[in-house]
Structures are given as C-alpha cells and as structure tokens.
A = this chain, B = another copy of it.
C-alpha cells in the first residue's frame, strides 16, 4: 500500500501533527534522532530566523509499541504554545501580499482559520520533519541517506554537491554548521545577506540542493515517475516555487553530446561518469546519487508598507506586517526539503516492491530473465 501522510493543524490552534499510514512495521523509532531533526527546523536566536521560539516536542499518540512501529497508523502531535493571536486580529481582513490569505479565503469560503496563516503556516512543516525523520530511520537500515545544503541565498552561492562522488559523511559536516553549506565562506556570505535583509525590513530567497545516496537502480516507474513523487511532496512545502533534477534548467541551453551521461562498469557496478540526469532516467532511479534543487521564495512577511486589498470591504488598502518573522527561511528549510525527499524515496521504494520481478532493495545489475 502507498505510504501516505496527512498533516493537520493550524498555526494558532491547539496542536499540529501528522498521521502516517502504511508504514512498515518494525522501524526502530529513535526519538533522539527525531528530536534532533525537529531541532534543525526550529528557529534559532541570533537574527537569522524568527524570534518565535517553540519547543516542538512531539507526542507519539499511536503506531509505536515498545520502540518500534507497529505497522498501523502512526499519529504524532505537537502542541502549539507561544501563540499571540492578538498580533493578527488587527489585520484580519487585509490580504498579506504573496501570502495565501486571499486564495485561502476564496477556497474555503471564509471559514479558514486566518490567524498566523492557519493551516497555510510554515509551522506545518514541523510534522513533515517528524514524518521525514521516521522515513530516514527506515532508509538508514537500507544504507540510504538524505542530505541537503543551501545552494544559494540572494547573490551568495555555495559549492554544489559532487553529483557522482557524494558520500553521506558530507551531510553530517554540513548539518553541524550555523547555516548548512558546503563552503564555510559561502555560509558567512549568506549570513551577512540575511542580517542585511532583516535590517532593511525585507526578506531574501534561496535555493536548497538535496541529495540521496545509496538508492539502488530500479525505483520509480514511467507512469508514476520518481520525479513526480518527489515533486508532489516538495511542492506541498510552503514557499517552494521551482524544482529541478540534476542539470535541470541548465539542460535548456545544452547539447546532447555534452550532457548525456556516459555509462561504465566500475568494480562490477554500473555507473555513469557524469550525472547530469540527477540519478533518474525514465522516472526510475539509475543507481547514481539522486540530486535535485528546490527554489524557495523570500518569505512574503515584510514590515515595509505594501499595497493590498481589504477582503471585507473590497477596497484598496496598505499593510505593514508586524510580528515575528524570518528574514530568510533557507536555514530552516533544508531539513524540511530533506524530509520531503526522504518520504518520497521511501514511498517510491515501497511502490516498486510490489513488482515481483524486481528486488528493489539490492543494487541488482543483472537481467532477471537471463
């Protein structure tokens, strides 16, 4: 059955959470690891993110028994504390530009919880990180690892992953930094840009690059492509506006003889000497590292005056968004993108398992018919 997760909750309601269905039984639920992942998403002091600090300790309500998943639905909830609903009532009818205030109101006929963005809030990414951490625990047992870094913030650019030789050890080093980057200088340049944006009462966007190592060939299918599964999950992360695999948009100005990935045998394994396709061909994993980039827009909450409309009176208005906001969500977004990737890869592996002629858990290199 398809791995499925349902994220519920509103920013200023009693709690947020997730139900994960069709999890395999027997996954060791390492609470410490899950909390460390949630901690990576959490806002930190120092001006790089919002001053709304929350503890975000999850309560596992079901689906775990004596430390292992039971195989029946796993529900975890995270209580909302530190909510200041008063912050929002004053501007309830003013649509924050580039936020979902207007579209949500139309979609739900005005019944949506508008406080802090309600169900549209970036806070809802915490349960996704929870679910992603469970997926990572399952993947780890198969030797599959997921890691990300900030490739870009404004004009500052990090080094890219080596798409052929990347190893999981790279991920740990990155995750330990203030901003998760490969190059420390790039991280410092990004910090400067973010602090500058905060002081100028604006925000700044960026790009996250994510990699999955250890994924065997043969996961995915042409009709439900691995790219499509990842896209479904990545585009449910608020603020993501673009997704590309491998060379991605770079393919648009490239020639076949330059970017085709030549194949070789190496120590009995099938590899390619370049990995412009980001580890996916025909919607199916190739055995090379899976690489993608996600574009994240600047958080639309800025305190400068902006033109907008009053949704109640349907007249032009101006808004200055007060409250506590992130000048840049890239530092917190990396682990969210990783979570979406981990859930996607897990879903695709479980899907491909239903094919009796494929042993999807080993890097099989031979033809099942021979």
The yes or no answer to A192 lying at the interface (CB within 8 A) is: no
Q: Mark A289-320, 1 if CB is under 8 A from B, else 0.
A: 00001011111111010111101101110000
Q: Determine which of B252, B284, B315, B316 lies in contact with A206 in the assembled complex, contact meaning CB atoms within 8 Å.
A: B252
Oligomer copy total: 4
Closest Cβ of chain B to A229, distance in Å, is 8
Which among A246, A257, A316 has the greatest number of chain B C-beta atoms within 10 A? Answer: A257
The yes or no answer to A227 lying at the interface (CB within 8 A) is: yes
Bound form: Cα–Cα A301–B256 in Å? 8
The chain B residue sitting closest to A246, CB to CB, is B241
Q: Mark A81-106, 1 if CB is under 8 A from B, else 0.
A: 00000000000000101111011111
Contact present for B77 and A61 (CB under 8 Å): yes
Contact present for A295 and B244 (CB under 8 Å): yes
Contact present for A65 and B111 (CB under 8 Å): yes
The chain B residue sitting closest to A252, CB to CB, is B207
CB contact list, A211-232 vs B, under 8 A: 217-225, 227-228, 231-232
Contact present for B152 and A252 (CB under 8 Å): yes
Closest Cβ of chain B to A294, distance in Å, is 9
CB contacts (< 8 Å) of A241 on chain B: these are 227, 244-248, 251, 277-278
Contact present for A307 and B73 (CB under 8 Å): no
Bound form: Cα–Cα A49–B216 in Å? 35
Using C-beta atoms within 8 Å of the partner chain, give the interface range for chain A.
35 or more
CB contacts (< 8 Å) of A111 on chain B: these are 25-26, 65, 68-71, 357, 368-369
Name the segment of A39-47, A174-182, A259-267 touching the other chain: A259-267
Contact present for A17 and B75 (CB under 8 Å): yes
CB contacts (< 8 Å) of A257 on chain B: these are 200-203, 302, 304, 306
The yes or no answer to A285 lying at the interface (CB within 8 A) is: yes
CB contacts (< 8 Å) of A227 on chain B: these are 235, 240-241
Bound form: Cα–Cα A124–B256 in Å? 21
